[in-house]
Amino acid sequence: MASILEVNSVSKKFGGVVALEEVTLSVPERGIVGLIGPNGSGKTTLFNVVTGFHVPDKGEVWFRNQGGMERIDGLNPNEVFARGIVRTFQVPRLFKNLTVLENLLVTPRNQLGERPLAALRRGWEREERELARRAIELLKRFDLLPYANTRVSELSAAHIKLVETVRGLMTPARLYLLDEPAAGVEAGVAHRLFSLVRELREREGLTFFIVEHRIEILTRYVDYLYVLHNGKLLAEGKPEEVISDPRVVEAYIGGG
Amino acid sequence: MTSPSQAAVKRAFDAKLAAVAIIALVIGIAIGFAAAGAFQPTAGGQAAQPQPGAPAGGQAAQPKKTYTIGFTLPLSGELSSIGKIWEKVVYLAIEDLNREVQAYGFNVEFKAVILDDATSEEKALQNVQTFAQQGIKVVIGPAASSQVKAVKSFVDSNKIVLISPSSTAPTLAIPNDFIFRTVGSDAGQAKVLATLARQEGARKVIVFHRNDEYGNAFAGFFERYFKELGGTAVKMPYQTGLSDYAAEVASLASRVQAEGADAVVLISFDTDGGNILSHAAESPVLTKVRWFISEGPHGAAELKSPTVGEFAAKVRLLGTRPLFIANPLYEDFKARLKEKYGVDASVFCDTLYDAVKLAGWAILRAGAYDGEAIRKALVEVAKNYYGPSGWTIFDENGDKANQDYGVWAIVKTPQGYDFKDVGVYERGSIVFLEKPYP
Amino acid sequence: MLPGYPYSIVNFLHYFFFYLLFSLPLTLSYRNTKVINFAHSNFITYGMYTAVFLHGLLGNTSLPAAAAAAFLVGGSMALLNNIAVFRPLERRGASPSLVMIASMGLWIMYNYLLYMLADVAHFFSRKNFVSYSKIAYSDVPELSIAGFTLSQSFVASMLAALGLVVALYLFLEKTRLGRAMRAVSDNPVLAEVSGIPRDTIVNLTWLIAGGVAAVGGAVWTCFSGTITPQSGDAMILQVFTVSFIGGLVSLLRTGLGALAISFIENVGIAALNTYLGVPTSFRPFLTFATLLTILIASPPLGAAGGLPYRFRRRG
Amino acid sequence: MIDVVGFLVSWLTLLGIYSILALTLNFESGVSGVTNFGKVLFYGVGAYTAAALTVYLVLILNGFDVGRTPPYSVEGIVALGQLAGQNPALNLALFALSLVLAFLAAGLLGYLLSYPILRVGPAFVGFTLLSSGELMRIFLQHFEPVGASKGLMSIPGPFAWVPEPRVRELAFLGVVLALLALTYVVMDRLVNSPLGRTLRAVREDEVAALCLGKHVPRLKATVLFIGSGFTGVAGALLAYYLTAVNPGMFVPAVTFNVWAMIILGGMGNLRGSLVGAVLLTLFDRLLTFLTPQLGITVISPDYVRWFSVGLLIVALLLLRPQGLLPEEPVRTPALEELEVALRGGGSG
């Protein structure tokens, strides 16, 4: 299958510390790919490079657009988002004093009502209603509807995590980078989340690239798994092969 | 999603939107009304509000006619230290005025309505508007020239006579307006200071001045007059409102050396002036030249410190200030203010006192409580009045025409250093009454 | 020869010492607590007024005594700020801007409290405390070096600044508590491991920051010709500029900033005035322009930083 | 008799101007998270734009050589005083033009300043703008064409030709209130729209907003353009109200006063800003009457006033950070949809 995201020998240093070294990987279209690795192995840095937070010192990042592959490293985060890549954060970065519904509604891009002149005229209300219905639909599916009018700052940690992932689903993106979506979420909800990921892939043809610590859950849903260790790619392959790889086991035990 | 409910809600939104501003205003108006009601009696000093100028009614056998004079004074804010003293001067002046007019057989009484303007332009204008609404036609104050500018258009168009006891900005020397000033403009003092410096032998001076309207205008006039007298003046502004002026004084020293100047002319207020002099005392360059100072720092406690006192003796420091020296009325006024209210007369107390008296007599002379008439009467009254601040005749701009100036020095007394008036300006030259420095 | 020599040089060093005394504690407080503290100027002013009140009301003429009292006053103010305002706000998860606004409120409050105190003191003593002359202390010597007389305030500020720098160095490098304090600024999470609670360290930081700034204020009373309740405010933007040069985290760069700003403000403006005729009144303008340039050219290191947004186009 | 109308005119005019400041500051700082400690910068630019434009054009259009009789000279001031009431059409046209230009000048300055603001990060925005304001003030003090430290005076107001002073004041008050209403409607629409929601998101976490594709730099520039523009209009109104401007009017204390208003009223709530402005200006007005009544006071009431403002800010942030009127959720049709869904869920 053709790949949607390609990372070609990317390196990134902070001060003297090597965060990524010659990392090469690719995510196939309509795939669900996992990325695991011990703490500090560079997973989040990789996400940051892909989403335009950091410019890589070396290497390239390519993303499939309508016209073919486009180089996206060095673009600004909002430009990366515009091309169809959505990310969630390891430590949730929700808008704390906005309600759950507002958090969802903020997400869609290029809303008519975001333009100052249009906002004054109110021609945006129809679009707003459509978005609201979509958001309500999503909230229903995750039993979050009762919290729709609650400020995020009043939610429990698990709910916050969930809302952040759901927020990512509000936009018509093609590639989702999920940074530890299941951390702190109870197992049942986590499974529901990953089932939805599967379902979205089947129904909408979306692609997922997921960093996750809870390997036991992750491996049941992903097609392919990469392992990072000390900024280098340690192993890759089918999930069941990878987790039985002795190097991986050692990295996880050795790395604490 | 039926459209009628949508439209209804939308209408509600819009209606709310439009209503909100109105509601807020209505609430404000209500509060304002209550406040006006609550404060009017205290402000007017009388429960039943008589129209100022109108007879208080025929119910009593011999009703006294009450005239109200509005005062907008800096009781708080930047100039509050003199504002608090001024308040007492107003009380004293109103008492004296009432006693005098009644002694002359007028059955009238003057009342003062004092409002605080916190040395702010906006509040000064609001106060004058408040006076206008009460029908008051004579307002005394505000203190600062910038405030007078802010109220000028209003008083001119409402025909309210405004007398400022302390505004000295030359830009306000405008003919045919309703603004009078019982103090001479800075141009006059600049001339005296230039004469003083020249007479004392200065040829080239650095004018070290505040970078504000007062300092800039004063320095400009000084430069002009000093040139006319055959000297050279170099202007050097410094920014105000700093915590310390050591760097400025260092620049001054460097400039004095570079220009080869033989004197420094300091145009400052009290705090900055005291600061500059205390730093200058430590500079060998600046202790070798003469120093001449405007009226601003006169009276400041910093100048009485031993450091500055010794410095003053070394550089034979002399200053000018508006003053009619050896005026028995002034001495009497000072003594009575101290006795009655326990405060020492500071700057512009005499001009304020005279402003009140002039206003009172002008109202009586005008015969009608009307701005136009009072303005004309004021000019006439001033020609025949002599008070603590001397002759009060107005020039064509409504400013004091014959301002007298004195020369002050810092002298050593048994209690420490203190200010002393040592000379006067008379017919184009300085006459020393005593030798300030040995 | 430099313009204004030697006074501009003397002033330059003089201001350098004072900026060290005022800005180092500011940098210290930001890097350990991440609070942008507008009320820093209050520490300075209250330090001055501790000395002023001691002199004016009790007749104290000992600078060390005034400085010690100032340390207590400034330190306890800062501690109180933290316990009563900053910590509760942070516990609640308030944003840094909100904490900064709170410090602005504190600043206004303390400022006018001081005016009120000066009014009360005036009422009882009949002395003018709103504008107070320079204080001559009896126990600070003047020094004569190679024909130059170094004034009392020069000696005092030099000793205080040197003492501060040495003490800070020894404290941060050589003591366990000091190392823990450095750890807090480098990595708050890691610092918890060191066994000293973050709260303790933050409290201690405030005590030192407030105290040292107040000592600077006390020393200022033998330098400046006039002390007013505005004295601290009038220089706070300069003090912040110095700390901004240090990115609000680096003590060494703060020292360099103190050097740079005092140079610009004394030698720089004198040179511009003498050679280019720039009015002396541009001195604060220069400082603010420097501040803006620094903020734009090299944004503070310790701040959350700007956006991960690059204005340049990719080639 | 108490002249209620008169009292209201003198109070409401200034209240209207301060309300515009409070509304825009709330829009910038309360809603969008730009900690604007340099409000007075845009206020001053608006005031000076209007003042300079009016006095220069009035003189030039009446055939004066402004090189020889500049508007800040005594001759210029006298001429302005005579010309003020002669040509109603000119006065009104200049007024309208000044409002537009004051909006544009202050707005563009805000637009440009959004660049350094983004560079320094949210925490340092306050200082950047505060020192920009001080820079402007010192610059104005040296800039001779606008009168340097003298400032400008005798600015012909829009209604200077109306003979009856009371009518003139009421007309001006009407204009101020109309502009206040316009500001309110614009701010309200912007806040209660997807744009307002996005701005709140930027306030909460600008990095996350950027990752959600929001063009944060452009949004901030927009906010500062609109907010500063209306601030400039308020400045122009002040210039016409006082008919005089000078650099000393634009000190940071003005900014902090407005801050106190929005913190009191409630950050993020527009109606709160109005309430805050009403309460504080009324408090000031009362002090004006009260202070002389107190007679001899040990402590100046002005100090007590400012002390209370500081205390109020701190106490509110600690005890009631939402202010008198807390921020409300963004009002859009989405709320109706949600209501329908919730009711449907309950019954179904």
DSSP letter string, B59-107: SSSSPPEEEEEEEEE-SSSTTHHHHHHHHHHHHHHHHHHHHHHHHTT--
Residue type, B109: E
When pLDDT is cut at 50, 70 and 90, the band that residue C203 belongs to is very high
- SS3 of residue B139 by DSSP: strand
Residue ranges covered by each domain of chain D: 12-252
Residue D90 has pLDDT above 70, yes or no: yes
- Residue B105: CB partners within 8 Å, gap ≥ 6? none
Give pLDDT, residue D181. Answer: 97
A119-128 long-range contacts, Cβ below 8 Å, gap at least 24? Answer: A119/D189, A119/D190, A119/D193, A119/D194, A119/D195, A119/D196, A120/D186, A120/D189, A120/D190, A120/D193, A122/D189, A122/D193, A124/D193, A124/D194, A125/B10, A125/D332, A125/D333, A128/D194, A128/D332, A128/D333, A128/D334
Give pLDDT, residue B160. Answer: 94
Instruction: Count the residues in chain D.
Output: 348
Give pLDDT, residue B52. Answer: 44
pLDDT tens for each residue of D103-116: 999 999 999 998 88
Which of D186, D201, D210 shows the shortest C-beta gap to A98?
A: D201
Residue type, D339: E
For B273, list phi and psi in degrees, rounded to 5. Answer: -60, -45
Nearest to B189 by CA among B372, B354, B379, B321: B321
A38: number of Cβ within 10 Å: 19
- Residue C81: CB partners within 8 Å, gap ≥ 6? C37, C39, C103, C106, C206, C210
Give pLDDT, residue C189. Answer: 57
C174: number of Cβ within 10 Å: 9
- Token pair belonging to D175: 């204009």
Put simply, whether C226 touches B (Cβ < 8 Å) is yes
Which range of B155-169, C89-103, C260-274, C284-298 scores highest in mean pLDDT? It is B155-169
Per-residue pLDDT tens digits of chain B, which is 438 residues long: 344 445 555 544 455 545 554 555 555 555 554 444 444 433 333 333 444 444 444 444 567 889 999 999 988 777 777 787 888 899 999 999 999 999 999 999 999 988 888 888 998 998 998 888 888 999 998 998 999 999 998 999 889 999 999 898 888 888 889 999 998 888 889 999 999 999 999 999 999 999 888 899 999 999 999 999 999 999 999 988 888 898 888 888 888 888 899 999 999 988 889 899 999 988 888 999 999 999 888 877 788 888 899 999 999 999 998 877 778 898 899 999 999 988 888 778 999 999 999 999 999 999 888 999 999 999 999 999 999 988 889 999 999 988 888 899 999 988 889 888 899 898 888 989 888 887
Residue C247 has pLDDT above 80, yes or no: no
Q: With b meaning 16 or more CB within 10 Å and e meaning fewer, what string describes D315-337?
A: ebbbeebebbbebebbbbbbbbb
Give pLDDT, residue A14. Answer: 80
Which of B239, B251, B279 shows the shortest C-beta gap to C270?
A: B251
Residues of B with a Cβ under 8 Å from any C Cβ are 81, 211, 236-239, 241-255, 258, 270-272, 274-279, 282-283, 285, 300-302, 305-307
Measured at the CA of B281, the angle between CA B275 and CA B284, to 5 degrees, comes to: 140
Nearest to B267 by CA among B246, B240, B305, B285: B240
Put simply, whether C286 touches D (Cβ < 8 Å) is no
Average of pLDDT values for C78-105?
91
Say what the pTM is.
0.88
- SS3 of residue C78 by DSSP: helix
When pLDDT is cut at 50, 70 and 90, the band that residue A256 belongs to is very low
Average of pLDDT values for A22-47?
90
DSSP codes of every residue in B227-293: HHTT-EEEEEEE-SS-S--HHHHHHHHHHHHHHT-SEEEEE--HHHHHHHHHHHTT-TTTTSSEEEE
Which range of C6-15, D6-15, D312-321 scores highest in mean pLDDT? It is D312-321
Cβ-contact D190, D27 below 8 angstroms: yes
- SS3 of residue B108 by DSSP: strand
DSSP codes of every residue in D251-292: -HHHHHHHHHHHHHH-TT-HHHHHHHHHHHHHHHHHHHHHHH
Which residues in chain A are contacts of C315 at CB distance < 8 A?
A: none
When pLDDT is cut at 50, 70 and 90, the band that residue D255 belongs to is very high
Find tokens 């720039």 and name the residue: C278
Check whether the bond before B41 is cis (ω within 30° of 0): no
Distance from CA of C280 to the nearest CA of D (A): 11
Average of pLDDT values for A3-19?
88
Put simply, whether A53 touches C (Cβ < 8 Å) is yes
Question: Is C308 in contact with A77 (Cβ distance < 8 A)?
Answer: yes
Residue type, C313: R
Question: Is C296 in contact with D263 (Cβ distance < 8 A)?
Answer: no
Put simply, whether B46 touches D (Cβ < 8 Å) is no
Distance CA D183, CA D328 (A): 19
Give pLDDT, residue C113. Answer: 94
Distance from CA of D335 to the nearest CA of B (A): 11
Quick one: DSSP state of residue A54? S
Lowest mean pLDDT among C2-11, C23-32, C225-234, D50-59: C2-11
Quick one: DSSP state of residue C302? S
Which residues in chain D are contacts of B171 at CB distance < 8 A?
A: 72-74, 77, 150, 153
The subunits that touch chain B, with at least 3 C-beta pairs less than 8 Å apart, are C, D
Question: Is C309 in contact with A55 (Cβ distance < 8 A)?
Answer: no
Q: Which residue has the higher pLDDT, C96 or B66?
A: B66
Put simply, whether D182 touches A (Cβ < 8 Å) is no
Distance from CA of D261 to the nearest CA of A (A): 21
Give pLDDT, residue B77. Answer: 72
Which of C85, C109, C119 shows the shortest C-beta gap to D298?
A: C119
Q: Which residue has the higher pLDDT, B288 or C306?
A: B288
Residue C308 has pLDDT above 90, yes or no: no
Nearest to C53 by CA among C128, C141, C153, C154: C128
Ramachandran bin of C251, using left for φ above 0, alpha for ψ from -120 to 50, beta for the remaining angles: alpha
How many helices (H) and strands (E) are present in chain C, helices listed first?
A: 13, 4
When pLDDT is cut at 50, 70 and 90, the band that residue D221 belongs to is very high
Q: What is the percentage of chain D residues whose pLDDT exceeds 90?
A: 56
Q: At what angle do helices D165-191 and D4-25 cross, to 10 degrees?
A: 30
β strands within B93-226, DSSP E: 108-116, 138-140, 161-164, 179-181, 204-210
Give pLDDT, residue B62. Answer: 67
Question: Is A76 in contact with C93 (Cβ distance < 8 A)?
Answer: no
Domains and CATH numbers, chain A: 3-84+172-254 (3.40.50.300), 101-168 (no CATH)
Domains and CATH numbers, chain B: 65-183+348-391 (3.40.50.2300), 187-322+405-432 (3.40.50.2300)
Question: Is C224 in contact with B275 (Cβ distance < 8 A)?
Answer: yes
- SS3 of residue C153 by DSSP: helix
pLDDT tens for each residue of D172-203: 999 999 999 999 999 999 999 999 999 999 99
Give pLDDT, residue C258. Answer: 93
Give pLDDT, residue C194. Answer: 61
Residue ranges covered by each domain of chain C: 13-127+135-229
Give pLDDT, residue B20. Answer: 53
Q: Which residue from C minimizes the CA distance to B275?
A: C225
For C37, list phi and psi in degrees, rounded to 5. Answer: -100, 100
Residues 94-123 of D with CB under 8 A from C: 115-116, 118-123
- Residue D112: CB partners within 8 Å, gap ≥ 6? none
Average of pLDDT values for C257-284?
86
Distance CA D8, CA D173 (A): 10
Residues 169-198 of A with CB under 8 A from C: none
The subunits that touch chain C, with at least 3 C-beta pairs less than 8 Å apart, are A, B, D
Cβ-contact B178, B370 below 8 angstroms: no
Which residues in chain D are contacts of C289 at CB distance < 8 A?
A: 135
Q: Which residue from C minimizes the CA distance to B304?
A: C133
pLDDT tens for each residue of D24-34: 999 999 999 89
Put simply, whether C61 touches B (Cβ < 8 Å) is no
Complex-level ipTM beyond the 0.95 threshold? no
Question: Is C225 in contact with B276 (Cβ distance < 8 A)?
Answer: yes
